[in-house]
Amino acid sequence: MRSSRIPGRRLFRFPWRTAAQVAADVDEELQLHLDLVAEELVEAGWSPEAARAEAVRRFGDLEGTRRFCSSLDRSKETQMKWKQALETLGQDLRFGGRQLWKSPGFTFAAVLTLALAVGASTSIFSVVHGILLRPLPYPQPERVVRLYQPTEDGRVEGGNFSVPTFVDWRHESRTVSAAAAYRYGNLILASSAEAPERLIGMWAGADFFRVLGVRPLAGRWFAPDEEKAGAPRVAVISEKLWQERFGRDPGVIGRTLRLNGEPRTVVGVMARKDMYPDFVDVWLPMVFAEEESQNRGTIFLDALARLAPGATLDAARTEARVISSRLAKQYPESSPGLVIDMKPLQEVMVGDVRTPLLVLLGSVLFVLLIACANVANLQLVRASAREGEVAVRTALGAGRGRIVRQLLTESVVLALTGGAAGVALAVWATKALVTAAPQGTPRIEEVAVDGPVLLFALAITLTTGLLFGLAPALQASRPNLASTLKEGARGSRGRASTRARNFLVVAEIALAVVLLAGAGLLLRSFAQLQKVDLGFKSAGILKFHLSPPQTKYPGDTELRLLVDRLLDELDQLPGVEAAGATIWGMPLISGENVLGFSIQGRPPKPPGQEDSIRFAMVSPGFFRTLGIPVVRGRDLAARDRDGAPPVLLINQAAARQYFPGEDPLGKRIAFSSERRSNLNGAEIVGIVGDFKQSTLEEEVAPQAFLPVAQAPLPRSSLVVALRTEGDPGAVVAAARNRVREIDPDLPVYAVRSMEELVSASAAQPRFYMLLLGGFAFVALVLAAVGIYGVIGYTVRQRTQEIGIRMALGASRDRVLRMVVRQGLTLAVIGAAAGLAGALVATRWMQSLLYQVSATDPAIYSTVAAVLVLVAAIASWLPARRAAGTEPQLALRGQ
């Protein structure tokens, strides 16, 4: 008994021992030793009891040794368990790899399917992660909130508060630790060497970056005393400007820039990643003009705040509502209906893209599921072919668990291969997505295939591997041993397998129908958008912006002179047919500024309930230039200037809303703004056609148009529109030159053709439509491949039966019909389930749709028809083969 009996067999091959067993073994070993020592002593003449006590004494630290050995053995046991698990895994991997290598056709199809699905899912997830999930790069970003006054439909828009409102709220609020108001504006950066450049400026409170919790990259942020009028003029520039304009020169701090004609000292540079929002070039301390800080009705501020430690968002919102409703009661004239509400900054930033992104993520996961079903189907077909192999292994003693593990490992190897290819695809696809994303998509530059995204890819890869591997593995591990071995693995797989395959195909079709329905809805919606009546003629129109600085054009008179001169000279440029200018009135990019007004001759409305209307300033030639018709009355004319009787035009929407059943022409209007008192009694002299003001989808809002030459002019971008004879691009250089001749310090920016602008307005829906359309197409192809595979397989299985039928006189047509009917049955069941699913799933999409109902019957029936047609073709191909069966061959083949 002294020699090891089975060479190479080791203890760890025995079943794993529990901790108690390990301890028992140690005890037994030590007990034997003690007994043997005692025996030795008894032989030497000791009494048995004394011998036992002496043996224990001689042993030394018995208890310590017992504990030491047990714990050592336990850790050895664990180590070995892992080692053996790894060894088994290695075996399974090698075996799985060989099996996959042996059927390259199957492997290629499966890997390709998975790579496409994992690649698409991963790249969409990277976008969702970068935009929606990843927190903003600020400390405790969830505590940074944006203050706003909700619009009627609850949206967040720019320009929410007046200075006194903000100051009062800040003074009373106890729930925020820092708050800062801000506003945007145009800045002109003058330079002796280069052409003047237009920059986007933000005037912000000294606490702005304390709210965000970030420090400048270099230099410092503003000090509170720099917010006072008469303080030294300072500026903080963005990293982007620092890089592009100053080549990252550290000496830029302390340098003087001429911004809007004023010298300002650069005191700091903000890092790109810390910027909010990301398009700002220069930050300036907020210094309020006297009128602004007194007037509660002058609403132009936005604000950010950081919640105080311990304060919840709900508490802060409740407090803000209490304060604002008190202010609204206290100042009913100037702050009617004032509501201050808050939302986490991240939510505000990504609010518009949230739904479409989630819809896309959902769709791409559908594609992934379809891919799973497809690969599972391929596996099932293959599992039938491998019955023999599995039966032999079972017969040789492989347990069911071992076989399932082996088959699952194979699936996971397959999934990992597909997943790796998918990640490579995702890296490329994500870059493409970032490039193709519509302009202005928030945080798009933060999208990348990074750690969390790779984890996601790994997770979905492993999940899919298990999903599509489990059913076939369980099934294959339960073969009817005797019959399989006897029959030589020929078609003994029973109904269960057929049912599983049919179920998978039906599921695939159903998922594909949901995706197709979604894509169809977006397509239809996009088509509607393309048919929208813009209300203006975009062809041949060029527009650009100017920001005349207050330093050079201090009053309305100077500004009007500039507009007159610009339009006169631009009109005469060769290739230009007409020229017009507007502030806030440009189609698709008009401002949302509103003005309270009353119609003379009607009873005055109580304070807080006056009508208000969107308004814009336009030059006489503006509507003609843009091809906007004057449907009644007259257009503005050169004679409508300061000093002449005040006039205005309204759009049809305003006529409908405020003058139902009346003729608006000749009616007189009074504006509630004191600044516009010179316009009181302005007469409506014309009605212009409605045109799209901000988006293609919108309902046109009532709008009033005041003559540039009469109305007070706000300091905002002056938009010039030129109607050209042909290509708008051809006159850009000439127009730029002419503007430079008129004022060399006035940069021309945002130069675009109206057609580009129209196209950009549809960029987002187009992007979503193309993506979802792409997913739906992939889903359709995968579903078709699924049907083809299943029908093809059954045809092979039924060759003999078909041969008999034909031998007995069944015609080719009959066989063809029989097989196609089988495919169509699956398709119809799948399509029905899919349509039901689509009814539920597409509800999430309603907000993405324009003039299409999410349950549009035309689209649903088209989708179902397309699917049934594709299913018919996919089953017709194998059916033709079946019908071509030579009865003789089929029978003899058996």
Partner 1 sequence: MPKSSLDLLHGTVAVLILKALTWGPMHGYDISRTIRMRSDGALGLEDAALYQALHRLEKKRWIDAEWGLSENNRRAKFYRLTDEGRRQLDTEVTSWRAYVEAVSKVLETA
Residues 246-305 touching partner 1, rule: CB under 8 A, are none
Distance of alpha carbon 782 from alpha carbon 802, whole angstroms: 28
Two tokens, residue 218? 């270099």
Q: Among 45, 64, 254, 660, which residue sits at the site for partner 1 (rule: CB under 8 A)?
A: 64
- Would you say 246 and 281 are in contact if contact means Cβ atoms under 8 Å apart? no
Based on the shown chain and the rule CB under 8 A, indicate whether residue 2 belongs to the binding site for partner 1. yes
φ/ψ of 329, rounded to 5, equals -75, -40
Query: Of 16, 18, 28, 228, which one interacts with partner 1 (CB under 8 A)?
Result: 28
- Binding status of residue 43 toward partner 1 by CB under 8 A: no
Taking the complex as a whole, the smallest distance from the CB of residue 89 to partner 1 amounts, in Å, to 21
Q: Which of 17, 21, 30, 749 binds partner 1 (CB under 8 A)?
A: 30
How near is the Cβ of 66 to partner 1 at its closest, in Å?
Answer: 9
Q: Work out which of 43, 49, 61, 741 binds partner 1, going by CB under 8 A.
A: 61
Q: Nearest approach, Cβ of 8 to partner 1 (angstroms)? A: 10
Q: Which has the closest alpha carbon to 208: 195, 198, 222?
A: 222
b/e for 806-828, b at 16 or more Cβ within 10 A?
beeebeeeebbebbbebbbebbb
Q: Residue 358 corresponds to which tokens in the numbers above?
A: 């989630």
Cα–Cα distance, 563 to 580 (Å, whole number): 9
| Smallest distance from partner 1 to CB 23, Å | 12
53 lies in the site for partner 1, by CB under 8 A: no
Q: How far apart are CA 128 and CA 426, in angstroms?
A: 13
Output the smallest distance, CB 80 to partner 1, in A.
Answer: 10
- C-alpha torsion 309→314→318→319, nearest 10: 10
Q: Which of 25, 227, 278, 450 binds partner 1 (CB under 8 A)?
A: 25
314 binds partner 1 (CB under 8 A): no
- Count, residues in the chain: 894
Nearer to partner 1, 36 or 358 (CB): 36
Q: Where are the alpha helices (DSSP H) in 44-175?
A: 48-59, 62-102, 104-128, 163-172
In whole angstroms, give the CA distance from residue 332 to residue 648: 28
C-beta closer to partner 1: residue 75 or 847? 75
Among 16, 27, 58, 759, which residue sits at the site for partner 1 (rule: CB under 8 A)? 58
Residue with tokens 């309930």: 609
Cα–Cα–Cα angle for 90, 96, 102, rounded to 5 degrees: 140
Minimum Å distance from CB 44 to partner 1?
12
Nearer to partner 1, 29 or 592 (CB): 29
- For position 36 contacting partner 1 by CB under 8 A, the verdict is yes
Joined together, the tokens standing for residue 670 give 């009074």
Among positions 72-91, residues that touch partner 1 (CB under 8 A) are 72-73, 75-76
Check binding of 811 to partner 1 (CB under 8 A): no
Number of C-beta neighbours around residue 363 at 10 A: 27
Main-chain dihedrals φ then ψ at residue 879, nearest 5 degrees: -65, -40
59 vs 428, beta carbon nearer partner 1:
59
Binding region for partner 1 (CB under 8 A) out of 32-40, 222-230, 773-781, 808-816 = 32-40
Least distance in angstroms from the C-beta of 59 to partner 1: 4
Please say whether the beta carbons of 429 and 120 come within 8 A.
yes
Burial of residue 127 (number of CB atoms within 10 Å: 0-12, 13-18, 19+): buried
Smallest gap from residue 6 Cβ to partner 1 (A):
9
3-state SS class at 435: helix
Is residue 104 a contact residue for partner 1 (CB under 8 A)?
Answer: no
Q: Is 217 in the site for partner 1 (CB under 8 A)?
A: no
Binding segment for partner 1 (CB under 8 A), chosen from 29-37, 135-143, 515-523, 569-577, is 29-37
Could you tell me if 99 and 91 are in contact, meaning their C-beta atoms sit under 8 angstroms apart?
Answer: no
What is the C-alpha end-to-end distance of the chain, expressed in Å?
A: 59
Q: Which region, judged by CB under 8 A, interacts with partner 1, from 55-63, 129-137, 364-372, 554-562?
A: 55-63
* Interface segment toward partner 1; rule CB under 8 A; list 68-76, 339-347, 386-394, 664-672: 68-76
Minimum CB distance to partner 1 smaller for 4 or for 435: 4
Residue of 33, 255, 565, 602 interacting with partner 1 (CB under 8 A): 33
Q: How many residues of this chain interact with partner 1, rule: CB under 8 A? A: 30
Per CB under 8 A, the segment of 69-77, 182-190, 683-691, 756-764 that binds partner 1 is: 69-77
Q: Site residues for partner 1, window 553-582 (CB under 8 A)?
A: none
Residue 37 interacting with partner 1 (CB under 8 A): yes
Going by C-alpha positions, the residue among 734, 615, 599, 733 that lies closest to residue 675 is: 615
Q: Which is nearer to partner 1, 2 or 531 (CB)?
A: 2
Q: Do residues 786 and 502 touch, judged by C-beta distance below 8 A?
A: no
Match 């720099």 to its residue by tokens.
226
Nearer to partner 1, 43 or 813 (CB): 43
Identify the helix (H) or strand (E) that includes residue 266: strand 262-270
Write down the least CB distance from residue 468 to partner 1, Å: 41
Least distance in angstroms from the C-beta of 384 to partner 1: 45
- Minimum Å distance from CB 84 to partner 1? 14
CA-derived radius of gyration, the chain: 39
- Min CB(125)–partner 1 separation in Å: 45
Instruction: Please say which residue, 68 or 108, places its beta carbon nearer to partner 1.
Output: 68
Only one of the segments 2-10, 241-249, 481-489, 885-893 lies at the binding site for partner 1 (rule: CB under 8 A); that segment is 2-10
65 binds partner 1 (CB under 8 A): yes
By C-beta, is 7 or 254 nearer to partner 1?
Answer: 7
Report angle CA 152, 158, 160 to the nearest 5 degrees: 70
Which of 15, 45, 60, 401: binder of partner 1 (CB under 8 A)? 60
Residue 68 interacting with partner 1 (CB under 8 A)? yes
50 is a site residue for partner 1 (CB under 8 A): no
Task: Locate 11 and state its tokens.
Answer: 């203890």
Task: Choose, by CB under 8 A, the member of 42, 62, 315, 839 that binds partner 1.
Answer: 62
Contact 684, 664 (CB under 8 A): yes
Please give the helix or strand (H or E) that residue 523 lies within, else none. helix 495-531
The smaller minimum CB distance to partner 1, of residues 67 and 634, is found at 67
The residue among 42 and 804 lying less far from partner 1, judged by its C-beta, is: 42
Site for partner 1 in 4-23 (CB under 8 A): 4-5, 10-11
Q: Provide the 10 A C-beta neighbour count for residue 483.
A: 14
Q: How many CB atoms lie within 10 A of CB 702?
A: 20
Strands 611-618 and 576-583: antiparallel
Q: How far apart are CA 707 and CA 326, in angstroms?
A: 38
CA distance 532 to 82: 66
Q: Using CB under 8 A, list all residues that contact partner 1.
A: 1-5, 10-11, 25-26, 28-30, 32-33, 35-37, 58-62, 64-65, 68-69, 72-73, 75-76
